[in-house]
Amino acid sequence: MERRTIEIASRRNDRIKIGIIPGHFATNHSHVNYYVDVGSIKRRYKMAKEAAKDFSLDYADTPVDTIICLEDTQVIGAFLAEQLSESSRHSVNAGHEINVITPELNSNNQMIFRDNTQNMIWNKNVLLLISSASTGWTIGRCIECLTYYSGNLVGVASLFSAIEGTNGITIKTLFHNEDLPDYTTSLPSDCPMCRDKKKVDAIINDHGYSKI
């Protein structure tokens, strides 16, 4: 499958790149016709820092107290907190402390925060950082969590997004579905590839893929 990988650079910053693989892929809530590999951005120091710089421009005028990192985006989140809080920058967050945290999942697959981290959410301005948004399902779960802990969601940043926004929040992204020719996402019950009896190539999640 790796031989089919196509590398594309971000229109915003050509030093940031992802790999895409055409095929039939299943997530836990949708089927897509491309596997979008954003792993290099999350795991390579230089690329993660470039991504953080780009996102910091999007949120320079947005008060941010806490960055919630989903789907292994903690490295980027730490760099983003550094960029936003740089004292030398013209940013409303210059010189401020910014928390960088990740929720846990309980036995019911709900996002939770322990007692010792809830003070970083309660009545705080929260920026959500996610690796991929294809349907908005994961973002919706996080919004439910923030509502429970009285957090104020001020923005969503995604490395790749197939949607413009969700729940009234615009998603800032490095790569959009316009960067992928004929990208489609559908519910498993409505998947045209399944109707055509095309075999699923792999199961995918935020960690990577497993071939079937």
Please return the burial class of 200, using the count of CB atoms within 10 Å of its CB with bins 0-12, 13-18 and 19+: middle
pLDDT score for 59: 95
Radius of gyration of the chain (CA): 17
Other Cβ atoms less than 10 A from the Cβ of 111: the count is: 20
In this predicted structure, the answer to whether residue 207 has a pLDDT above a threshold of 90 is no
The structure tokens listed for 84 are: 């936003």
Note the pLDDT tens digit of each residue in 110-166.
899 999 999 999 999 999 999 998 888 889 889 999 999 999 999 999 999 988 988
State the angle between helix axes of 74-85 and 45-58 in degrees (0 to 180), rounded to the nearest 10. Answer: 50
Note the pLDDT tens digit of each residue in 13-70.
999 999 999 999 998 888 999 999 999 999 999 999 999 999 999 999 999 999 999 9
pLDDT band at 1 (very low <50, low <70, confident <90, very high): low
Question: Distance between CA atoms of 72 and 185, rounded to whole angstroms?
Answer: 22
Domains defined for the chain, CATH in brackets:
2-211 (3.40.50.2020)
Q: Which residues contact 183 (CB under 8 A, 6 or more apart)?
A: 32, 33, 34, 162, 177
- If you average pLDDT over residues 190-195, what whole number do you get? 94
The structure tokens listed for 194 are: 């399944």
Helix (H, G, I), strand (E, B) or coil at 117: coil
Note the pLDDT tens digit of each residue in 162-172.
889 888 889 99
- Mean confidence (pLDDT) of the chain: 92
Which residues share a beta bridge with 205? 208
The structure tokens listed for 204 are: 């995918």
In this predicted structure, the answer to whether residue 2 has a pLDDT above a threshold of 80 is no
Question: Distance between CA atoms of 97 and 116, rounded to whole angstroms?
Answer: 17
Q: Is the pTM of this model over 0.85?
A: yes
In this predicted structure, the answer to whether residue 3 has a pLDDT above a threshold of 80 is no
Note the pLDDT tens digit of each residue in 64-115.
999 999 999 999 999 999 999 986 677 799 889 999 999 998 878 789 999 9
Q: Which residue has the tokens 């009896």?
A: 197
